[in-house]
Amino acid sequence: MTVDSRLAGLREPQVQRQKSSLFRQSLKRLMKNKLAVAGFGVVVFMFALCFIGPFFSPYADNKINMAMMNKAPSLQHLLGTDALGRDILTRVMQAGRISLTVGLASMVLSVFIGALLGAVAGYYRGIADQIIMRIADLLMTIPGLPLLFIFGALLSEWKVPTDYRMYIVMLMLSIVNWPGLARMVRGQMLSLREREFMQAAVVLGLRDSRKLFHHLLPNVVPLLIVMATLNIGGAILSESVLSFFGLGVMPPTPTWGNMIDAANNMIDFQDHPWLWIPPGLSIFATVIAINIFGDGLRDVLDPKQKR
């Protein structure tokens, strides 16, 4: 066994212990933030309720029952029924599946695109940086919500089937959100590439892919986790707004947004509040909880934050 291999064998346990220690310290600081822990608890509860709850509901088939239309909350229907006699509680849970899935999937797409393009722009600079950043600047000059309205109107004009609209909405939200993430990652890359460990990597002659994926991007991951967490709430809100205006996911597929749109007249708004209050409160509680948890993560993982 060579000296280098022995040294490498000694360093690996030390690196693992350091990573484990850093994780434990971060987790300990996060657990001290009671508000962030409460926010995480609400998020977990909403995911469990929406993805597991419908399996225990006797009304999961969403059968139309005109004899039970617009009934107030009762022991049989805890949150009442809608204009077609369907159980509101079951519909809220099923709608949460779609809204949370769209928010989570669009966040993953936007983080992947933004991190990759931001890393390429910040590391290579030059013409790659100019092209990527000018595209990002162009998208950022257009307000996100009007741009989503335009995309949604095009979907309605082209009569895109309902089954595919959810996936297109995910892509639309990721297109709107990636420029900000790309600019943030680019700024971090420009700073990190001048550090001593990167100069050492250059001296060792490491490949560009190894520098990017083994040395630069891991240093940006904590900040990406924070931004990704905060972006989920924004994506859920954006999807709800699109669905409320009939430009996102369309009925009969339920979302929190199009459930609120069901109470689109003064009679339903005043006399049938159980139609719009449960999905509205679901959006409010979920987005607030995600933002509170994201703030707690930022305090723990962002080294620039004052503790």
pLDDT value at residue 193: 81
Query: Which carries the bigger pLDDT value, residue 226 or residue 99?
Result: 99
Q: How far is CA 198 from CA 18, 126, 194, in A?
A: 20, 19, 7
Nearest in space to 151 (alpha carbons), one of 136, 171, 132, 137: 171
The structure's pTM equals 0.84
**pLDDT tens digit string along 107-159?**
999 999 999 999 999 988 889 899 999 999 998 888 888 888 888 888 878 88
With a cut of 80, say whether residue 14 has pLDDT above it. no
pLDDT value at residue 18: 53
Task: Find the length of the chain.
Answer: 307
Task: Please check whether residue 23 lies inside any domain of the structure.
Answer: no
Contacts of 44 (CB under 8 A, 6+ apart): none
Task: Please check whether residue 79 lies inside any domain of the structure.
Answer: no
Contact yes or no for 164/249 (Cβ under 8 A)? no
Q: How many domains does the chain have?
A: 1
pLDDT, the chain, mean: 85
Contact yes or no for 133/121 (Cβ under 8 A)? yes
What does the angle CA 112 – CA 282 – CA 180 come to, to the nearest 5 degrees? 25
pLDDT value at residue 233: 87
| Tokens representing residue 5 in the block | 């291999």
Res. 223 pLDDT band, cuts 50 70 90? confident
pLDDT value at residue 93: 96
Task: Please check whether residue 132 lies inside any domain of the structure.
Answer: yes
d(CA 281, CA 84): 22
pLDDT value at residue 6: 47
Task: Please check whether residue 26 lies inside any domain of the structure.
Answer: no
With a cut of 60, say whether residue 182 has pLDDT above it. yes
Average pLDDT (240-264) is 87
d(CA 213, CA 176): 25
CATH number, domain at 159? 1.10.3720.10
Res. 26 pLDDT band, cuts 50 70 90? confident
Cis (ω within 30 of 0) for the bond into 252? yes
pLDDT value at residue 288: 94
Three-class SS string for the chain? CCHHHHHHHHHHHHHHHHHHHHHHHHHHHHHHCHHHHHHHHHHHHHHHHHHHHHHHCCCCCCCCCHHHCCCCCCCCCCCCECCCCCEHHHHHHHHHHHHHHHHHHHHHHHHHHHHHHHHHHHHHCHHHHHHHHHHHHHHHHCCHHHHHHHHHHHHHHCCCCHHHHHHHHHHHHHHHHHHHHHHHHHHHHHHHCCCHHHHHHHHHCCCHHHHHHHHHHHHHHHHHHHHHHHHHHHHHHHHHHHHHCCCCCCCCCCCHHHHHHCCCCHHHHHHCHHHCHHHHHHHHHHHHHHHHHHHHHHHHHCCCCCC
Res. 19 pLDDT band, cuts 50 70 90? low
Task: Please check whether residue 225 lies inside any domain of the structure.
Answer: yes
With a cut of 70, say whether residue 9 has pLDDT above it. no
Contact yes or no for 144/235 (Cβ under 8 A)? no
pLDDT value at residue 20: 56
Res. 3 pLDDT band, cuts 50 70 90? very low
Task: Please check whether residue 269 lies inside any domain of the structure.
Answer: yes
Contact yes or no for 217/119 (Cβ under 8 A)? yes
Q: What percent of the chain has pLDDT over 90?
A: 36
Q: What percent of the chain has pLDDT over 70?
A: 91
**pLDDT tens digit string along 35-92?**
999 999 999 999 999 999 999 999 999 888 888 999 999 999 999 999 899 999 999 9
Task: Please check whether residue 27 lies inside any domain of the structure.
Answer: no
d(CA 288, CA 301): 20
Task: Please check whether residue 216 lies inside any domain of the structure.
Answer: yes
Res. 4 pLDDT band, cuts 50 70 90? very low
With a cut of 50, say whether residue 8 has pLDDT above it. no
In terms of residue numbers, what domain contains 156? 32-53+85-301
Res. 285 pLDDT band, cuts 50 70 90? very high
